[in-house]
Chain A
């Protein structure tokens, strides 16, 4: 091989080799765990699919992810609409409200909800001192807290695909609609929303995929009571050492996410979303 043929390899090789050794091969190892621990065979997959406890965790995860996806896409749509099409001042303020939470870590944001909603937190203290309630309301350490925290985390991520869909529009379509006498409401629902539908679907799929693997927010705001798949894997690895099952659930999760991502690439074309 001549030196010229070698140059691309020297540039491309290191990262590919690094990720191959530190990520790809270990992932194969995790797959191996899933069929060899505690004994060889596909028993762990059978257990992962049939065990009622794991079943309920899967179902809960899908339910929470679905609620969170709808909630965060709707919220993101509302704020993005003003961010993209509002007055300069509205744009500036919404942009700050999107970017500031985006850059704050998942831990701090989950903790913010604890500070806001826990029994001695801001909301309960205020409502009690105002006499609205006599006993503190339980708003964290349950599914409600998990849904709020996850929605809060995912809104900024849903904003970007929606914003790019809202930016690449032909303004003349709206002028035509208004010119023919459609009200603003009608223009919005029958033209604006359908045109931006690819962005909505892209945001939804992306948020759903993100939400599936969530771990930190449910662990803090769910308080061990509403365990989701990711936390289940953590518990199987570190608390009731059952590595085979943890690995099997991981592989199943990975396969499922892979299918969803394939759909995302096929139908929404992510290169358009990034733009």
Chain B
């Protein structure tokens, strides 16, 4: 085994610092006592964290993002699960084509998807006001389109680890398609399906490229709210919310890594 030389380790360390630096820079800025983006000089203040609590818009945006996340990842995971099961169980000869088709929103440039979904939702706005431009259900449907390919990939990967012989045995004993799905396959891949749901939720929770095109003033998700505070005069409240989000991610990654390490031992 070729071990990395000291030079390689130093280079990797430099890249690691580069990756972490902007995340660390947010922390002091969030404690500035000033009303504009700056470093705290001497006094550290919690006023921007207080502002997050005092301004109900932040809480509303968070609630909206959670609602959209649950609905969109629910739709995406369910449809992706059915699709992947269909491919895995029946293996149609045109499955390559089908895969290409359902992965389109993932491989197309986000801005092309954004203009496409904008077209879709303003078209729907003319005939109803529920699934429409700038409504929360409209956003959830658009997010479901964007995250469904990722859910398909996740579920397909976990299906590829299922031993086909178990399913063949069930089939041999006369199990129906429904029994094979609910009694044999789903219990085996339930962890993969949960992961797909979780990943879809995170993707919807963070989605901004498409959301920017399909919302204006009513369906303001958390990323959309941050975007508005980031454009012209930067609101230091963005620093405070960023610190909270970064802390959540770091804790989640640390917990996951700790569990993985323990399993290795």
Contact = CB atoms under 8 A, between A and B. Distances in A.
Interface of A: 7-8, 10-12, 14-16, 18-19, 22-27, 29-30, 33, 75-76, 78-79, 81-83, 85-87, 90, 92-101, 103-116, 118, 120-123, 125, 152, 155-156, 171, 174, 178, 184-185, 187-188, 192, 209, 212-213, 215-216, 220, 229-230, 233-234, 237-238, 246-247, 250, 253-254, 257, 261, 274
13 contacts: A23-B145, A92-B257, A94-B12, A101-B20, A103-B252, A107-B226, A107-B230, A112-B22, A184-B2, A213-B108, A213-B111, A233-B111, A250-B115
Nearest to B243: A108
Contacts of A246: 115
B80 interface: yes
A113 B37 CA distance: 12
Interface in B55-83: 75, 79-80, 82-83
B208 A106 contact: yes
Contacts of A125: 38-39
Interface string B1-30: 111110011011011101111110110110
Interface stretch (B45-53, B117-125, B162-170, B186-194): B117-125
Contacts, number: 277
A85 B2 contact: yes
A15 B213 contact: no
Contact of B116 (A26, A112, A184): A26
Contacts of A155: 15, 18-19
A76 B19 CA distance: 10
A108 B246 contact: yes
Given A8-B90, A30-B116, A107-B223, A24 B109 contact: no
Contacts of B245: 104-105, 108
B37 A121 contact: yes
B253 A212 contact: no
B202 interface: yes
Residues of A contacting B: mostly: helix
A233 B115 CA distance: 8
Q: Interface size class for chain B?
A: 35 or more
A81 B12 contact: yes
Q: Which of A16, A92, A103, A234 has the most CB of B within 10 A?
A: A103
B206 A105 contact: yes
A15 B82 CA distance: 8
Contacts of B5: 184-185, 188
Contact of B227 (A24, A78, A107, A192): A107
Contacts of B111: 213, 215, 229-230, 233-234, 250, 253
B1 A171 contact: yes
Nearest to B242: A108
Contacts of B239: 111, 115
Contact of A12 (B1, B8, B98, B253): B98
A257 B208 contact: no
B242 A18 contact: no
